Structure 1
């Protein structure tokens, strides 16, 4: 072959290889659709749930993003924030705007089930990811979505799970103080079923209106029942009022007070003198492990408060979402959702966790009791961790799931 022909062929081969390399690089970059990963934190920024989520969840998400250096798979990660005002229509409108106009890829938190369910349905239609930190079982039940995961707790884990643990610890008789709307009913139903299935007694139940400032008449009935456990099946100010007024009536020295939905900010607000002895399940306590302490102290430097389980869960959810993008080199929702379910969940919030096909994030829960003031040795030193509850015990069996994605 003439030398000049060999040179031409070599040049052509080099050009071809360069072109193929360029196409490969472009294809790799094209996996991130618009060159930006945009995550929304949609929660209560100013109302009754703002302490347990609010700006604290925003900061938790930032900490997760910072662990990746602000980029993943070569794309910049951006955070946007919205206040749903605990209104489903407001939350859905904001989510629609984010999805359709602003290119948001995933939304995390919610902290309100009605808002979360509205957005989860919208996100499924648009093939967007939702990372849920709200309590309804419907997120992984009849309303489940292949693009959604529920991270922290639900009415089954904190209703059934709490009752199951206390029954095992020898409590035989129960009385339910239930806030009269869907949230309270869901928890009281799960508790009642669990207690009765164990052959124990529910001696009575009283239901009271949402945001009731004076619970004295209801507490007198609970006290008169002589039940070993009085359950405050409520949250927020209703739960706090129940705990405070139970202490004033002298109920808690003689009867154990339990509640299915308690956050460390609630205990901080009530104070140990009134909250002491309260028992509940939590997915996270900042002072439980070296890793949780290290992360919580970073959070505290920014917020001046220790993180709630919701805020810690938002960190974990955002971190795992970014890990899935990094592992798959894609922000396509089908690809990322599949990868999220394939990868184990390991961080300061969850150790050895996994995501089921119905979207339930499987992790251990912890039975805790609020300390006496004399037992607290430092700021935010509020809980004694009494026992752990395995994921398989805490969450509804997959065989009982109403999720249509589950193969039974």
Structure 2
């Protein structure tokens, strides 16, 4: 009888062990990015460098028992290309986690593959808010920023500093509308007023004269830019030509340090912007950013820094959980605070959003800059729970169902 009970016990133990995901000899990570088109300056080769730095720093500090292999590919800003690469990585190459995934349409397409393959996807460069709302997936986590949060943060700070009336120049697509929506919420929260907006098709024109003249004639104290990339850069250049900054303040919902560097301080000075990261924010950011600069020749954008943070946090979770099983690793990531050079107060919500502080900056005048990348002065820190919409407003299915 006792021998029979022992046999049953051993079988149960072997069964439990067989069901528990085992640790692989090699963890595989894919950086799916834009290498040569609209967003390549923000992500691209710099994102691959940031991922390599995260891997190297993890290996040096944690001495893992497993090897780490890094893949990278150019999705060309095309959702179908991105999806095909992701499928190949998951099906044929055994990739365990994909990160970066620039662009809203690309991010939404790739995110849908997470439950199909039961894999982790870390969105570090898309600003699409629905990734942690109506389009959420259980093993997709969203790092760095979203368009609503940066729009709201910029507008609320500028309004509190006296910019009480606003007119928006908005790219007419989901991202632009989300930036305007967030900025409008920020203006109203600070007691300001929105006088109107002028739309333009995204990435379809270099002539913003009509929108700028309408903004100028509105009499608003602040012209808010709810666009990004080349659209934002061209709007800023033409605003200077029209002399808008003599009477009105320019405030961008989404501007990157590479945009400011490209524009130059004579054109960009005096503008307000929000970022999740700046190389000169503190000693930790300076130390890491100078290492990055040595490899890339440019200071990191917030999305490149965010990718480093997300990749490092993922690898630590894999080691702690002793598995690459997506559900298990994501639970471990949620259970662990995010503490690194990107944030000292980060945490991951049930809808997949990594909540952290955002920072309001003003672009420096040329006379105040001490070196080529000394571009921004800090105006305010916005706590994460104020910058991002609350969890109670998320439409994420597995959150709403609870």
TM-score between the two structures when normalised by the length of structure 1: 0.90
Task: Tell me by how many angstroms 1:192 deviates.
Answer: 2.4
Q: How does 1:185-334 map to 2 (within 5 A)?
A: 185-196=177-188, 198-211=190-203, 212-334=205-327
1:144 aligns with 2:136: yes
Distance 1:157 1:288 in 2: 20
Within 1, Cα distance between the matches of 2:344 and 2:44? 25
Hey, what does 2:331 align to over in structure 1? 338
Runs ≥4 residues deviating over 3 A: 30-34, 70-73, 196-199
Secondary structure class of the residue paired with 1:406: helix
Q: How far apart are 1:196 and its partner, in Å?
A: 3.9
Residues 265-311 of structure 1: CA distance to partner in whole angstroms, max 9, x if unpaired?
A: 10111111101111111000000111100000100000000000000
**Alpha-carbon distance, 1:365 to partner:** 0.3
Q: Does 1:131 align with 2:122?
A: yes
Which runs of 5 or more structure 1 residues have no equivalent in the other structure?
1-19
1:110 aligned to which of 71, 96, 101: 101
Stretch of structure 1 that moved more, 241-250 or 288-297: 241-250
- Residues 41-99 of structure 1: CA distance to partner in whole angstroms, max 9, x if unpaired? 00111101000000100000000000122786411001000111111111001000000
Q: How many Å separate the matches in 1 of 2:355 and 2:108?
A: 20
Greater mean alpha carbon deviation, residues 334-343 or residues 166-175: 166-175
Report deviation, 1:248: 1.6
Cα distance in 2 for partners of 1:203, 1:323 equals 48
Q: Distance in 2 between matches of 1:397 and 1:315?
A: 25
The residue aligned with 1:81 is 72
Q: CA deviation at 1:125?
A: 1.7
SS at match of 1:68: helix
Q: Which residue of 1 aligns with 2:377?
A: 384
Q: Distance in 1 between matches of 2:79 and 2:63?
A: 31
The two structures, once aligned, show a CA RMSD in angstroms of: 1.9
Q: Deviations over 1:231-265 (max 9, x none)?
A: 11111110001111111211113211011111111
Structure 1 residue 330 displacement after superposition: 1.2
Q: Which residue of 2 aligns with 1:91?
A: 82
1:162 to 139, 154, 157: 154
Deviates more, 1:119-128 or 1:381-390: 119-128
Secondary structure of the residue that 1:74 maps to in structure 2?
coil
CA shift, 1:32, in A, is: 4.8
Gaps of 5+ in 2: 1-9
Q: For the residues of structure 2 that align with 1:255 and 1:200, how far apart are their CA atoms?
A: 15
Task: Write the distance in 1 (CA, Å) between the matches of 2:159 and 2:385.
Answer: 17
Q: Deviations over 1:144-168 (max 9, x none)?
A: 1111111111022112222222222
Q: Would the aligned equivalents of 1:73 and 1:329 in 2 still touch at CA under 8 Å?
A: no
The 1-side partners of 2:322 and 2:382 are apart by 35
Which of 19, 25, 33 matches 1:43? Answer: 33
Asked if 1:177 is matched to 2:169, the reply is yes
1:361 aligns with 2:354: yes
Distance (Å, rounded) in 2 between the aligned partners of 1:152 and 1:63: 17
Give the whole-Å Cα distance in 1 for the aligned partners of 2:301 and 2:294.
15
SS of equivalent residue, structure 2 residue 245: coil
1:406 and 2:399 aligned: yes
Distance 1:193 1:31 in 2: 45
CA contact (8 A) 2:171 2:177 kept: yes
